[in-house]
Structures are given as structure tokens and as C-alpha cells.
């Protein structure tokens, strides 16, 4: 069990490190090929898109919770 946990955490750490290094490399590449204002705009667009996606996921979760509550209420009414 401990081997599995160790390899799981090792894999997770390597995945995080790889993604961080990839993001750093992309930023450096963009800075070397694109003007600074373009890089700043691309970073702002990515940040805005991440915020929009997080908001959409949150709205979807809220809607799913509401629908589950409605279904539970309906099932409860059927059994009474």
C-alpha cells in the first residue's frame, strides 16, 4: 500500500513540475518571439478564459444540485 501511495505522490509531483516547466517555457518562447504588449494581452485573455470557465463550472454544479434536490423531492412524494 505504501509503495502505491509513494508512486502516486511521485507521479503527481512530476506532473505538476512538468506542467509548470511547460508553462514557463511557453511564456519564455512567447516573450522571445512576440512583442511584450501581445504577451500581456494573451496572458490576460487566458486569465479571463480561466475565470469564465470556473464560473461556468460553478453554475453547472449549482444547477445540478438544484435538479438533484428536485428529483429527490419527487421520489419522496412517490413513496408517500
Rounded Cα distance between 32 and 41, Å, is: 15
Q: Do 58 and 67 meet the contact criterion of CB atoms below 8 Å apart?
A: no
Dihedral, CA atoms, 47, 38, 40, 45, nearest 10 degrees?
A: -10
The pLDDT of residue 1 is: 62
pLDDT digits (tens, 9 = 90+) for 9-32: 777 777 777 777 777 777 777 777
Model confidence pTM above 0.85: no
Amino acid at each position: 500500500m505504501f509503495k502505491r501511495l509513494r508512486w502516486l505522490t511521485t507521479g503527481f509531483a512530476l506532473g505538476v513540475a512538468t506542467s509548470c516547466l511547460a508553462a514557463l517555457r511557453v511564456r519564455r518562447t512567447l516573450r522571445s518571439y512576440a512583442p511584450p504588449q501581445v504577451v500581456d494581452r494573451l496572458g490576460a485573455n487566458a486569465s479571463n478564459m480561466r475565470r469564465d470557465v470556473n464560473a461556468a463550472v460553478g453554475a453547472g454544479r449549482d444547477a445540478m444540485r438544484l435538479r438533484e434536490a428536485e428529483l429527490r423531492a419527487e421520489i419522496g412524494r412517490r413513496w408517500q
